[in-house]
Each structure stands twice: as structure tokens, then as C-alpha cells.
């Protein structure tokens, strides 16, 4: 018996007001009970497709749509909002956007009551979902106290309250460390076993390799299938001992920072314990650790933004911290104003601006009138580094710069950093970035201690860059 189509898009075109077509004659078929993965370069139209499927592309963003979308055998335009959310739900990239009330139980119960209109039915639905997703122990907490993995699970629970046939995930692995990824994969396995149809839009596809039935790739506003065999050939499982050979930063050069026996705590919580590291001007260093392990704190201590309670930090160069949410680095409406702003505290602001203009052009930022906020994530990271270089900084501290990037964009950022003079220290929370870090010295921050990360018994993904490039090529 042929499987039933639960989501179907035919000859779908979509564009926003005063823009060109983003979706171009797109065809997509999703069958009942399957899990499909949609990949594509940043800005290729994945978010636009989600908006079109959910009806908000036209209703909220005022876009123009051509072609048809059918959900569970019924045309999209024939659904009311209430009817639609009982059939299809979306879990957003940022799970915090799902909360109206800060208390987890209050938020979920109020939504359940809104769906069922009956207290007993609402309570029963919430009890069933919270048991299935194993969140009963966090129902009495505030959502902003939860870890990234816990937040994701609660957002999924909220989506499941209406008993939808389809759940769409928008970048579910973003911001998750390896523990959070495992937690999501466990939840995904439970959803699959319950027969729910799942559509995942994700850059970090390696952890999802063994969970998806089909892979679709965006290309020129449309979608085409990537054979699973090709897709799975893009990675190998090797011993983590391979980490020892991924490379070492170029030896030599003068020391630009010495961190000696540093301790740091927030109130009674000791985050850094007896940290010592010497940084040379040519170093490329990656610090791996789970969320909450103290990676951001360590970078801020090295930069001088935080003062340790014990130990010392000596800097023989200029250090700058580039935050995890890189858009927070920018404050001005154009690249030119950003350059003027960062040069303001320079000894010779005119010389800084002149040199900075040349540096920006060298690294591909010719349009000084462009606003930084319209750039892609990877371009924002590159601009932040270029502006810092223009202002004379030579110690670049990048907090989770690979979040939200495709694997090819991560490689492009790493290659870009290789061309930038100065010491580069990046933090990562997911092991799928480790094989890309050629030439980086790798450390792990664990339980407050910083150690060279060269050992162990766990399996590590090794990425075939040629196949990855082929997958993303148009």
C-alpha cells in the first residue's frame, strides 16, 4: 500500500514585497511517518519555505505566493489557524520564543487548555506529553533556568499538545553542545517511534545522519534529493585519537598573553580552576567544552573584561572579545560608521580609519554603506575580525563562531582566520567542528580545568570535505 502524502508543495513560488523570487517552482513531497532533512547554504530560502508552509509568509510578511501547498490532503488556504495547528507544528530555532509565561507548567497548561477548552482534557494531554518526553521533573521550574536541551524538550512538548501529524524543526541543534544534541536525538527517536512525520531544517547534519529517511537540498530556490549513500559517505567514524593529529598552531613568535594560575567564580560557583596557558602571536587555539563549562568566562578573562579572583593575566598585545551572538558586536547602521567607532579610541584615529579602509577592502568589504545586520552570520564574524584588525587588535577571542554555519561556511571562516595576523582563540561546544580545525591546538575545558585534548576512547566524526563541497554545490 502506497504511503500517504501529508505535506505536498507543487510548483511553489514565493517572494517578499519588493523582492525577487526566493522560492522558484519548488516541489516537495513528505510522506506519513517519515523523517526528512532539508539542508542548504545560508540564505538559500529554508526559513522562507517554513513560512510559506505555515501560512505566515503571506499572512504576516505580506509575501506573494504561487503554486499550491497541501497539508494532510487539504489545501493550506482552507485551514483556519486553529485547524492548522492541530495538524502541523513548528519548533523554532530559539525555543524561548514559544513561552508566554515564565513558569513551565503554567505555560504548557494554559496552551493545552486553549486547545481543548476543558480542564480535565488539558491536564490529561499535558500529563501524557510530559511523561512521553520525560519533562515532569522540570514542570515546576522557570523556563530561563533550563538548559538548552531542556528548553528544546519543553518546546517540543508544547508542539505535541495538539497531537499534530507533522512537526517542523528549524535549526534544532543550534546552540546545543554534545550533551544537548544527544538529548534531542533521544527525543527525536521517541517522536519517530510514535509515528509523527518530522521535517528538520538544519546546518549541523552530521549528528542526524542515522535518524533521517531522506535528505533534500536547496538549490537555486528549489529542492532536489541527495541520495542517502552520498550523504552518509561525507563522514567516517574514527578514534578520537585522531584529534592529536589535526594540527598544531605555528610555533614561535613572541608571547602576547600569559594566563597564570587563574581562578574565577560567580558568587559561590567556581568556574575556572587554576588555569594556565601561554599564547603566542601566531597561535590558533580551539577550546572545546560543554555549555556552562566556563568557555565564555575564560575568553572574557583573557580579554580583560573580567578580573580573576586569583592568579594573573598579562597581555603584551591588544585583545578583543567577539561575542557568541556576533550581531551584538555591532552598534552602527553602516560598516563605515562601525570603522569610525572602533577607531575612535585609537591614538591616531585618522590613520586607523585610513588603514582600516584598506584592510576592509582586502578582506572583501568594499561597500562601506552596507549595514552589518544584513550580513550572514559568517560574514558578520569576518567583519568583526576585520574591524578589530583595523583598530590594531592582535588577540582575537571568538566565542562559538561556528554556531549557525554550514560545514562549508565553517571551513571558509577557518581559512579566513588563517589569513589574519595575530593570535586566534575560538570556543566550540560540539565535537562535529573538531575535524575542521586544521592547524589549531585543541584544549578541553572541563570541570573548571583546561587540558590538552588529545586522548580517549570515544568515537569522533571525520568529515570528507570534498563530498561536503559536492553536496552543497549547485
pLDDT tens string 381-438: 999 999 999 999 999 999 999 987 888 888 889 999 999 999 999 999 988 888 888 8
What's the whole-number mean pLDDT along residues 231-253?
49
Nearest to 154 by CA among 81, 97, 212: 97
Least confident of 188-192, 214-218, 245-249: 245-249
Residue partners of 285: CB distance under 8 A and separation at least 6: 249, 277, 279, 423, 424, 425, 426, 440, 441, 442, 443
What pLDDT, on the 0 to 100 scale, is given for residue 459? 38
Beta bridge partners of 255: 280
* Residue 203 reports pLDDT greater than 80: yes
What pLDDT, on the 0 to 100 scale, is given for residue 206? 84
Write down all domains in the chain, each with its CATH number in brackets: 5-238 (3.40.50.300), 240-463 (3.40.50.300)
What pLDDT, on the 0 to 100 scale, is given for residue 64? 95
* Residue 460 reports pLDDT greater than 60: no
Residue scoring higher pLDDT (389 or 206): 389
Write out the three cell numbers for 126: 499535558
Q: Place 45 in a pLDDT band, splitting at 50, 70 and 90.
A: confident
Nearest to 144 by CA among 185, 97, 93, 109: 97
What pLDDT, on the 0 to 100 scale, is given for residue 456? 38
Nearest to 207 by CA among 325, 47, 39: 39
Q: In 10 A of CB 53, how many CB atoms?
A: 23
Q: Place 207 in a pLDDT band, splitting at 50, 70 and 90.
A: confident
Nearest to 218 by CA among 23, 34, 50: 23
What pLDDT, on the 0 to 100 scale, is given for residue 19? 87
What's the whole-number mean pLDDT along residues 132-144?
92
φ, ψ for residue 65, nearest 5 deg: -125, 140
What pLDDT, on the 0 to 100 scale, is given for residue 145? 86
The sign of the torsion formed by the CA atoms of 346, 347, 349, 352 equals negative
Contact 404, 377 (CB under 8 A): yes
What pLDDT, on the 0 to 100 scale, is given for residue 457? 34
What pLDDT, on the 0 to 100 scale, is given for residue 407? 84
* Residue 7 reports pLDDT greater than 90: yes
pLDDT tens string 243-272: 333 444 455 679 999 999 999 999 889 999
Mean pLDDT of the chain: 88
pLDDT tens string 344-361: 888 888 889 999 999 999
Write out the three cell numbers for 316: 603584551
What pLDDT, on the 0 to 100 scale, is given for residue 235? 58
Which percentage of the chain shows pLDDT scores above 70?
Answer: 90
Contact 269, 224 (CB under 8 A): no
What's the whole-number mean pLDDT along residues 118-142?
94
* Residue 298 reports pLDDT greater than 50: yes
What pLDDT, on the 0 to 100 scale, is given for residue 420? 94
User: What is the C-alpha R_g of the chain?
Assistant: 24
* Residue 286 reports pLDDT greater than 90: yes
Beta bridge partners of 445: 450
Contact 246, 463 (CB under 8 A): no
What pLDDT, on the 0 to 100 scale, is given for residue 234? 60
What pLDDT, on the 0 to 100 scale, is given for residue 240? 39
Q: According to the 3-state scheme, what is the secondary structure of 352-416?
A: HHHHHHHHHHHCCCCCCCCCHHHCCHHHHHHHHHHHHHHCCCCEEEECCCCCCCCHHHHHHHHHH
* Residue 325 reports pLDDT greater than 90: no
Residue partners of 47: CB distance under 8 A and separation at least 6: 170, 201
pLDDT tens string 14-27: 999 988 999 999 99
What's the whole-number mean pLDDT along residues 28-49?
90
For cell 598585545, name the residue. 317
φ, ψ for residue 238, nearest 5 deg: -130, 170
Amino acid at each position: 500500500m502506497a504511503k500517504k502524502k501529508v505535506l505536498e508543495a507543487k510548483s511553489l513560488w514565493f517572494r517578499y514585497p519588493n523582492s525577487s523570487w526566493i522560492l522558484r517552482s519548488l516541489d516537495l513531497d513528505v510522506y506519513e511517518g517519515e523523517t526528512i532533512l532539508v539542508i542548504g547554504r545560508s540564505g538559500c530560502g529554508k526559513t522562507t519555505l517554513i513560512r510559506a508552509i505555515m501560512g505566515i509568509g503571506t499572512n504576516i510578511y505580506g509575501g506573494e505566493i504561487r503554486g499550491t501547498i497541501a497539508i494532510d490532503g487539504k489545501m493550506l488556504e482552507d485551514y483556519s489557524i486553529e485547524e492548522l495547528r492541530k495538524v502541523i507544528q513548528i519548533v523554532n530555532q530559539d525555543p524561548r520564543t514559544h513561552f508566554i509565561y515564565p513558569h513551565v507548567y503554567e505555560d504548557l497548561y494554559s496552551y493545552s487548555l486553549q486547545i481543548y477548552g476543558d480542564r480535565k482534557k488539558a491536564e490529561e494531554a499535558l500529563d501524557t506529553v510530559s511523561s512521553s518526553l520525560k519533562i515532569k521533573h522540570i514542570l515546576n521550574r522557570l523556563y530561563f533556568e533550563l538548559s538548552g536541551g531542556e528548553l528544546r524538550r519543553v518546546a517540543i512538548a508544547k508542539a505535541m499538545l495538539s497531537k499534530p501529524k507533522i512537526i517542523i524543526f528549524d535549526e534544532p541543534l543550534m546552540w546545543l553542545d554534545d550533551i544537548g544534541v544527544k538529548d534531542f536525538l533521544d527525543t527525536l527517536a521517541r517522536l519517530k517511534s510514535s509515528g509523527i512525520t518530522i521535517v528538520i531544517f538544519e546546518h549541523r547534519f552530521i549528528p542526524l545522519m542515522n535518524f533521517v529517511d531522506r535528505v533534500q537540498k536547496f538549490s537555486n530556490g528549489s529542492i532536489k534529493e541527495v541520495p542517502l549513500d552520498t550523504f552518509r559517505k561525507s563522514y567516517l567514524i574514527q578514534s578520537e585519537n585522531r584529534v592529536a593529529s589535526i594540527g598544531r598552531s605555528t610555533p614561535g613568535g613572541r608571547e602576547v598573553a600569559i594566563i597564570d594560575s587563574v581562578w574565577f567564580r560567580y558568587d559561590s560557583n567556581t568556574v575556572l580552576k587554576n588555569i594556565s596557558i601561554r599564547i603566542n602571536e601566531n597561535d590558533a587555539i580551539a577550546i572545546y567544552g560543554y555549555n556552562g563549562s566556563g568557555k565564555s568566562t575564560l575568553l572574557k578573562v583573557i580579554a580583560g573584561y573580567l578580573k580573576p579572583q586569583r592568579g594573573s593575566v598579562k597581555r603584551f598585545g591588544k585583545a578583543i572579545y567577539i561575542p557568541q551572538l556576533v550581531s551584538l558586536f555591532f552598534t552602527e547602521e553602516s560598516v563605515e560608521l562601525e570603522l569610525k567607532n572602533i577607531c575612535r579610541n585609537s591614538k591616531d584615529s585618522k590613520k586607523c580609519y585610513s588603514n582600516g579602509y584598506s584592510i576592509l577592502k582586502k578582506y572583501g568589504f568594499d561597500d562601506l554603506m552596507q549595514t552589518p545586520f544584513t550580513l550572514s552570520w559568517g560574514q558578520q564574524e569576518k567583519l568583526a575580525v576585520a574591524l578589530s584588525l583595523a583598530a590594531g587588535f592582535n588577540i582575537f577571542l571568538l566565542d562559538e563562531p561556528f554556531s549557525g554555519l554550514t560545514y562549508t561556511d565553517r571551513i571558509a571562516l577557518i581559512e579566513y582566520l588563517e589569513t589574519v595576523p595575530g593570535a586566534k582563540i575560538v570556543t566550540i561546544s560540539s565535537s562535529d567542528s573538531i575535524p575542521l580545525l586544521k592547524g589549531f591546538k585543541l584544549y578541553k575545558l572541563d570541570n573548571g580545568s583546561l587540558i590538552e585534548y588529545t586522548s580517549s576512547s570515544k568515537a569522533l566524526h571525520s568529515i570528507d570535505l570534498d563530498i561536503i563541497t559536492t553536496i552543497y554545490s549547485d
